[in-house]
Structure 1
Amino acid sequence: MVLKLHGFFFSTCTLRVATVLKEYNVPFEFVAVKLEEHGHKAPEYMQIQPFGQVPYIDDDGFVLYESRAICRYIAAKYRSNLAGPTLLPDVSTEVEKYARFEQAASVEAWNFDFYASTAAAELVYNPGYHGIPTNEVQAKKLIDSLNKTLDVYDQILAKQKYVAGDDITLVDLFHITYGNFLHTKGFINLEDEKRPNVRRWWRDITSRPSWQAVKDGLSPSS
């Protein structure tokens, strides 16, 4: 039975999972959840995802939600699909590398995504979908904080190729969706010449075939 990815065609978290599925060459069926019709809040949906969010996967009866947890699961289960770096260090054989991975994962969650996802909500989702005016003061604070994070990233990436070391990991991929969303809308500049190391890293991770395959959104044939 092919893995099913239930989500919204252009949601950042759904595309995060789709990117990793593509990295591991895992065939999957995309099942569209109609957010515009509040399909994610339907009782039958919330029986599976009690927070009413996207995405979740059904891998031959194994159901899992939360995009980063799903990505870790894919990386652990389909590790043998990759000839190169597995994207998720093995804690039993690469304990120090795994610790660096978890350190970077915490940084991504709390120093990047916390500001990026909240800024996206404040600047785009609230006014565009919920009819809530942007709080300009709050939005500026979030973007300023995100730019400070990127300044630190430039220092880190001056010493290593990727955020967890010299091998690419899931953590690098975790940045792509919200980074791309804010970058393409002009709220942040991930190719700023003032941050040459961030620019090099960003061009590297966003040029991967996995992201290129999903960046324009998913369809039932994806």
Structure 2
Amino acid sequence: MVLKLYGFPISTCTRTVAATCKELNIPYEFINVDLAGGEHKTAEFTAVHPFGQIPYIDEDGFKLFESRAISRYLAKKYAGNGPKLIPTDPKEEAIFEQGVSIESFNFYPSAIGYAKEKVFKPMFGLTTNEERAAEHLETLNAKLDAYDVLLGKQKYIGGNEYTLADIFHLAYALAVVEAGQGGLFESRPNVARWWEEISNRKAWVDVIEKGV
């Protein structure tokens, strides 16, 4: 059976999983979850994802949620289908894990915080807390200074090869850019080079232009 991806087309986490599938040439069936109708909070849905969130996958009865966990599973199971998104050499894997931690603790909190205030709240008719948005932006700005130093020493966040550490940045970085803060990336030469490359990978472009 074809892998089923349950999510929402413009969901950041859904896009992360879709990009991983496309990088690895994994065929999948996209199942649109009716968020507006509260489908993700129904008993049937929460029986699979107890937190009532998206996405999750169903592969012949094997069900898994959390976009990072899903992406890791797919990268390992389908490792021969495309780029090696998780290195196997111990030192390379350690640098990869370092990159994943950088994204989780130094990028994601501020990026999602800013996106929540400037993108997601307006989308749902809620009022942006401008002070909180400014705080997240200030923190993210400082973090990207360190990114520029790191990316001056290696090509990607997780080493010298494209990995999940880079894929995990894509959706929220795009949200920040679409909120009018593309200068955060463009003003730093190494970050600009990195963002230009990863955001133009065919798999990601397909997710954005053609939908999940």
TM-score higher than 0.5 here?
yes
| Residues 217 and 121 (structure 1), Cα distance of their counterparts in 2 relative to 1, 3 Å cut | farther
Distance of 2:122 and 2:205 partners within structure 1: 29
Relative contact order (C-alpha < 8 Å, sep 6+): which is higher? 1
Percent identity of equivalent pairs: 47
Uncovered stretches (5+) of structure 1, i.e. residues with no partner: none
Equivalent position amino acid for 2:101 in 1? S
Equivalent position amino acid for 1:116 in 2? A
Equivalent position amino acid for 1:125 in 2? F
1:106 to 2:101 alignment: yes
Equivalent position amino acid for 1:10 in 2? I
Higher helix fraction (1 or 2): 2
Q: TM-score, normalised by structure 1?
A: 0.91
Cα distance, 1:136 vs structure 2: 1.3
Q: Is the 8 A contact 1:8 1:33 kept in 2?
A: yes
Cα distance, 1:216 vs structure 2: 3.3
1:136 to 2:130 alignment: yes
Distance of 1:17 and 1:190 partners within structure 2: 25
The residue that corresponds to 1:6 in the other structure is 6
Runs of 4+ in 1 over 2 A off after TM superposition: 187-191
1:152 to 2:146 alignment: yes
CA RMSD of aligned residues (A): 1.4
1:45-194 alignment, distance < 5 Å: 45-82=45-82, 85-90=83-88, 94-129=89-124, 131-192=125-186, 194=187
1:33 to 2:33 alignment: yes
Q: TM-score, normalised by structure 2?
A: 0.95
207-216 or 17-26, which deviates more = 207-216
Match among 190, 200, 203 for residue 207 of structure 1: 200
